[in-house]
Structure 1
């Protein structure tokens, strides 16, 4: 990889990390809803692991996230873009039940 290609790749990765961080922060502070994130068209957001998304929700930490993923039978490594319709529905049902 040439130095220019490497620099471009690093800038792209930094922009994606920043976008995911902004999305998690907005979700945590109620500026963004879970449905909006799951339906997002952003590649950076869609490549975020589901466990990271759920851990970003208010009052849901890493331990509760792990329990939720086990209950709704979603792999720990699953990304948002890899969720099917039924899995998204189970996430909504389980989250609504926890509230």
Structure 2
């Protein structure tokens, strides 16, 4: 299958959409890091929004104050969540256990 050729306008629109999505995800993580949003609230918000649901779980965990690489990895292992899992890929029980952990 060949890659479709896009016009410069289509490429520009795609770049803009990708930039907006990255900014939205970064803003959510910054709000969690700054204490404006709790982890549970951010998780609920990400589950409802298609753009935000593409954040990796470990990245959102690492944005929580006092949770670094080691603790985030430990939490993921304890809750049996794959290291490359994104929020939209979490099961109902995994979401519940994450909310219990930070609720």
- TM-score normalised to structure 2 length: 0.85
1:69 paired residue number: 76
Q: Secondary structure at the match of 2:51?
A: helix
Structure 2 residue 93 is matched with structure 1 residue 93: no
Structure 2 residue 11 is matched with structure 1 residue 11: no
| CA–CA separation in structure 1 for the residues paired with 2:33 and 2:68 | 11
Report which stretch shifted further, 27-36 or 48-57.
Answer: 27-36
Task: Please give the root-mean-square deviation of Cα atoms over the aligned residues, in Å.
Answer: 1.3
Mark the runs of 5 or more structure 2 residues left unpaired by the alignment: 1-5
1:23 paired residue number: 28
- Does the CA-based 8 Å contact 2:33-2:63 persist in structure 1? yes
| CA–CA separation in structure 2 for the residues paired with 1:19 and 1:78 | 19
2:3 paired residue number: none
Mark the runs of 5 or more structure 1 residues left unpaired by the alignment: none
- TM-score normalised to structure 1 length: 0.88
| CA–CA separation in structure 2 for the residues paired with 1:77 and 1:49 | 7
Q: Secondary structure at the match of 1:57?
A: coil
Name the count of aligned residue pairs.
96
